[in-house]
Amino acid sequence: MSIENLTVASGAKFDVALGFEPLGVNASDVSALLGISQSHFFGLLRTGRFGPEARRLGRAKRYDRDEVLAWFRAGCPARARWQAMRGSAR
């Protein structure tokens, strides 16, 4: 499945052709982007194996879509390693 055709949990679509890509995605959208179940995603969070940290927007938690993709392309390092990698890249 390509990202151009992915429908996110909110019902919005990632539509590169129209220029719409959400900057922040929720846990359900992250798991869909990664092609894993939500329970697997929450397991990664709980055990510190998911690198990117969520940002709060009011009561909602959102993950930076670009950071999630960069984390995946970097080989899915654990949170501590990801933070060290990101710290040295900035």
Q: Across the 90 residues of the chain, what is the mean pLDDT of every consecutive 10-residue run?
A: 52 58 91 96 97 95 96 96 83
pLDDT at residue 26 in the model: 95
- Residue 46 identity (one-letter amino acid): R
If you count them, how many residues does the chain have? 90
How far apart, in Å, are the Cα atoms of 32 and each of 41, 62, 71, 87, 89?
Answer: 10, 14, 15, 27, 27
DSSP per-residue letters across 9-77: TTS-B-BTTTTB--SEE-HHHHHHHHT--HHHHHHHHHTT---SPPEEETTEEEEEHHHHHHHHHTT--
pLDDT at residue 29 in the model: 94
Q: In this structure, what are the phi and psi dihedrals at residue 38, rounded to the nearest 5 degrees?
A: -65, -35
pLDDT at residue 7 in the model: 54
Q: Which pTM does this prediction carry? A: 0.75
